[in-house]
Amino acid sequence: MEALDLARWQFGIITVYHFIFVPLTIGLSPLVAVMQTLWYKTGNERWLRLTKFFGKLLLINFAIGVATGIVQEFQFGMNWSEYSRFVGDIFGAPLAMEALAAFFIESTFLGLWIFGWDKLPKKLHLAMIWLVAFGTNLSAFFILAANSWMQHPVGAIFNAETGRAEMVDIGAVLSNPTLMTTFPHVITSALLTAGTFIVGISAWWMVKDVRAGRKDRAIDVYRPAMVLGLIVTLAAGVGVAISGDLQAKMMFEQQPMKMAAAEALCESADGASFSILAIGDLSDSCEGVSHVIEIPGLTSWMATGDWNAPITGVEDLQAQFTEKFGEGQNYVPPLAVTYWSFRLMIGMGVGSAALAAAALWLTRKGQVVDKRWFSTLALIAIPTPFLGAAFGWIFTEIGRQPWAVVPNPTGVDQVWMLTSQGVSTVVGPWSVILSMTSFTVLYAVLAVFWYKLMTRYAAEGVADSEPDVSPDNTDASGDRPLSFAY
């Protein structure tokens, strides 16, 4: 394999692995802050116990996420040095903002929150976790600003003397219309992930407690936690649908090839249908593909809001791109990956929906249940939004191929780059093989530790009691174990 193929595999493996942890951190941090706020407002120890319980899970996930995310930025200067040379002036700015502002905010205040339970007044300590939540979401904003610029470059010019793209308007980069639709979609999907996570764990424990004769704890602790998770899951689910629709319409304008490939729409059509299942050879040539199960007009509606709107197919788009950017290049992304990742992204929402529907019905009117199938459903549903977010990320990145920086159809002349042009000219295949193998093995080990820690502390459940050790409590003891130290 060539260095280009290996570098793409390495970046794909690391990015998808890292993104497993991202949605939970983004979504769970404000929900832990909400739990602590409820304790601060009501004084009910239940919410303190839940804060500590889900706070531990947040910390484990945060730590692994940070460790796996740092590697990505090193790749830009090594495997993808030509990419960095060409667009580093623009792409590096939001990444620097993320590191210098957002990451320092979340890491600094997370430390104060971990070790400040018995040292900071309640109100000030509560502010720490809210600042962590703000920092994680701000971090997502800056990273998405960089990625959105790759999807739709703005605020830049091409300098013919240096042969590089240069930023002329940071405001345009941070207000990119692509970013304005991508950011709410990512945040709502993160909240959906965290909400499902809380509902799943709480439902599993509720069933376990009822079956073990601890119905009072199920009613007092796990049902309220499940209700909070349900509220977030339902609201976030609506947000994902609305923001996803807006994002799809913008993609059809900015990256028509990506969305045509997502539908495996080979030929242009008026009132294009949305296929549930396509068969045939989903190769880049788009030959022999037939749609077996279709919803008439849905693709046209997703693109424009008009059920009868004309949609340009893959073959016509290939001809247009060839005329504009030159022959000898296949401008069609891998159809099989794009087509199925788009459907799996949407389909994985069934897990959260099924869990929410079952929980709403079974626990109506203040009930708690002991149905074993419900606890099984809760565990099965937990990973589905994680997978949905991962498939969404795969679709976003694979669908823009063969571009590293997609041409802006409305301007920004010559600020675009093929993926094949961005790979390093000096890093050879064996160097990439060595680093890719090392990181894959290391990440596999980290995955085992992450899974063991998450299941261990989730299986311990909420503590039976959690003393208020804050300085505001005059009865608090000065000695306590570091419950958040690992």
Q: What is the pLDDT of residue 160?
A: 87
Rounded (10°) CA dihedral 456, 461, 466, 472? 80
Strand-pair partners of 451: none
Residue 486 has pLDDT above 50, yes or no: no
Phi-psi region of 26 (alpha: psi -120 to 50; beta: other; left: phi over 0): alpha
At a CB cut-off of 8 Å and minimum separation 6, what does 285 contact? none
Length of the chain: 486
| 3-class secondary structure per residue, the chain | CCHHHHHHHHHHHHHHHHHCCHHHHHHHHHHHHHHHHHHHHHCCHHHHHHHHHHHHHHHHHHHHHHHHHHHHHHHHHCCCHHHHHHHHHHHHHHHHHHHHHHHHHHHHHHHHHHHCCCCCCHHHHHHHHHHHHHHHHHHHHHHHHHHHHHHCCCCEEEECCCCEEEECCHHHHHCCHHHHHHHHHHHHHHHHHHHHHHHHHHHHHHHHHHHCCCHHHHHHHHHHHHHHHHHHHHHHHHHHHHHHHHHHHHHHHHCHHHHHHHHCCCCCEECCCEEEEEECCCCCCCCCCEEEEEECCHHHHHHHCCCCCEECCHHHHHHHHHHHHCCCCCCCCCHHHHHHHHHHHHHCHHHHHHHHHHHHHHCHHHCCCCCHHHHHHHHHHCHHHHHHHHHHHHHHHHCCCCEEECCCCCCCCCCCEEHHHHCCCCCCHHHHHHHHHHHHHHHHHHHHHHHHHHHHHHHHCCCCCCCCCCCCCCCCCCCCCCCCCC
Query: Residue 123: pLDDT band by 50, 70, 90 thresholds?
Result: very high
> What's the CA gap between 426 and 169, in Å, rounded?
32
- Give the CB-side neighbour count of residue 442, counting CA atoms within 13 A: 12
Tokens of 457: 């502390």
* For residue 479, pLDDT beyond 60: no
| Alpha-carbon gap, residue 48 to 36, rounded angstroms | 6
| C-alpha neighbours within 13 Å on the C-beta side of residue 470 | 17
CB count within 10 Å of CB 270 equals 12
**Spatial distance between the Cα atoms of 147 and 254, rounded to a whole number of angstroms:** 14
pLDDT tops 70 at residue 12? yes
Distance of CA 179 to the CA centre of its chain: 14
d(CA 37, CA 30): 10
Name the residue type at position 360. Answer: L
CA 454, 460, 466 angle in degrees (round to 5)?
Answer: 110
Tokens representing 96 are 């620097």
89-to-93, 151, 200, 216 alpha-carbon distances in Å: 7, 16, 44, 59
Question: Model confidence over 28-77: pLDDT tens digits?
Answer: 999 999 999 999 999 899 999 999 999 999 999 988 888 777 777 778 88
Read off the pLDDT band of 474 (50, 70, 90). Answer: low
What average pLDDT does this structure show over 458-482?
Answer: 72
**pLDDT, position 185:** 94
Lowest mean pLDDT among 84-98, 233-247, 376-390, 457-471: 457-471
pLDDT tier, 15 (very low <50, low <70, confident <90, very high otherwise): confident
Q: What is the pLDDT of residue 475?
A: 65
Q: If you average pLDDT over every residue of the chain, what do you get?
A: 87
CB atoms under 10 Å from CB of 70, counted, come to 11
pLDDT tens-digit map of 403-456? 999 998 777 778 899 999 988 888 888 988 998 898 888 888 888 999 999 999
Q: In the predicted model, what is the mean pLDDT of residues 237-266?
A: 89
What does the pLDDT look like over 454-463, one tens digit per residue? 999 999 888 8
Tokens for 356, please give them: 């929410």
* Residues 256-314 pLDDT 10s: 899 888 888 888 888 888 887 777 666 656 766 777 778 888 888 888 888 888 888 88
User: Is the CB of residue 408 less than 8 Å from the CB of residue 151?
Assistant: no
Distance CA 477, CA 62 (A): 29
Q: Are 70 and 166 in contact (CB under 8 A)?
A: no
Report yes or no: 145 and 80 within 8 Å, Cβ to Cβ. Answer: no
